[in-house]
Amino acid sequence: SQQGEEDPQALSIQEGENATMNCSYKTSINNLQWYRQNSGRGLVHLILIRSNEREKHSGRLRVTLDTSKKSSSLLITASRAADTASYFCATDARSGYSTLTFGKGTMLLVSP
Amino acid sequence: EAQVTQNPRYLITVTGKKLTVTCSQNMNHEYMSWYRQDPGLGLRQIYYSMNVEVTDKGDVPEGYKVSRKEKRNFPLILESPSPNQTSLYFCASSLYRGKTQYFGPGTRLLVL
């Protein structure tokens, strides 16, 4: 079963603008992770936020987590054309079988 | 270099002809997993392994087998492939369940 759902499905912006992607999930989690995938390639881990954390930064990335709303957001500031990729959230559920469950992703296009 | 390798990268086969996709990691990770990625469906987990000789079904295990005889290797076996198994397959590993996953480059499979 897929727990994370990203929103929007696709996002098109200009270089220099900020990009915000959201992820909603259904059950209690241990952590939530964001991954990036360039077309047809393997996913690359971006950032992990634990259930007891509310915000985390890594370079131009800012992730927030609201466990009461079961949602997370990924903000990419000052986007570059090289940020063009699909972004996935993945949740490590607190209960149930041991698996990291991925959403369907947000496709981000950053135009020069 | 720490990495997850998969072979082959591309494979065209015919219905019913058994095939194996190999996956190997050099990071001494305990957790390994197989995913398939299809348009509009995101990543879905096929099988995972918590450690040597410990494997379990993911969301879409039908038609697949796995084994974990050694810590570093986690092959995916399709005993009788069918066209609905045409997909992009990813192997991933992590130190333990729920931790950051490292993905292989993917295997694109076409079953005729």
Q: Which residue has the tokens 């990009």?
A: A19
- Nearest chain B residue to A9 by CA: give it: B40
Q: Is B43 in the A-facing interface, judged by CB distances under 8 Å?
A: yes
pLDDT of residue A27: 87
Q: Is the pLDDT of residue A2 over 60?
A: no
CB A112 within 8 A of CB A84: no
Verify whether the Cβ–Cβ distance A45 to B98 is below 8 Å.
no
Residue B42: in which H helix or E strand, if any? Answer: strand B42-51
Amino acid identity of A108?
L
**Interface-testing mutation among B37, B48, B110, with chain A (most A C-beta atoms within 10 A):** B37
pLDDT of residue A96: 58
DSSP lists the bridge partners of residue A108 as A11, A85
Q: In this structure, are strands B76-78 and B65-66 parallel, antiparallel, or unpaired? A: antiparallel
Gap from B31 CA to chain A (nearest CA, Å): 10
Q: Is the pLDDT of residue A95 over 70?
A: no
Verify whether the Cβ–Cβ distance A45 to B102 is below 8 Å.
yes
Verify whether the Cβ–Cβ distance B42 to A42 is below 8 Å.
no
Q: Is the pLDDT of residue A97 over 60?
A: no
Please write the tens of the pLDDT for every residue from B7-26: 999 999 999 999 999 999 99
Q: Give me chain B's average pLDDT, please.
A: 95
Alpha carbons B90 and A65: distance in angstroms, whole number:
27
Alpha carbons B42 and B27: distance in angstroms, whole number:
26
CB A26 within 8 A of CB A4: no
Chain centre to alpha carbon of residue A90: 7
**Interface-testing mutation among A41, A99, A102, with chain B (most B C-beta atoms within 10 A):** A99
Structure tokens at A106: 């947000």
Alpha carbons A99 and B49: distance in angstroms, whole number:
10
Q: Is the pLDDT of residue B1 over 90?
A: no
Q: What are the start-end ranges of the H helices in A51-93? A: none
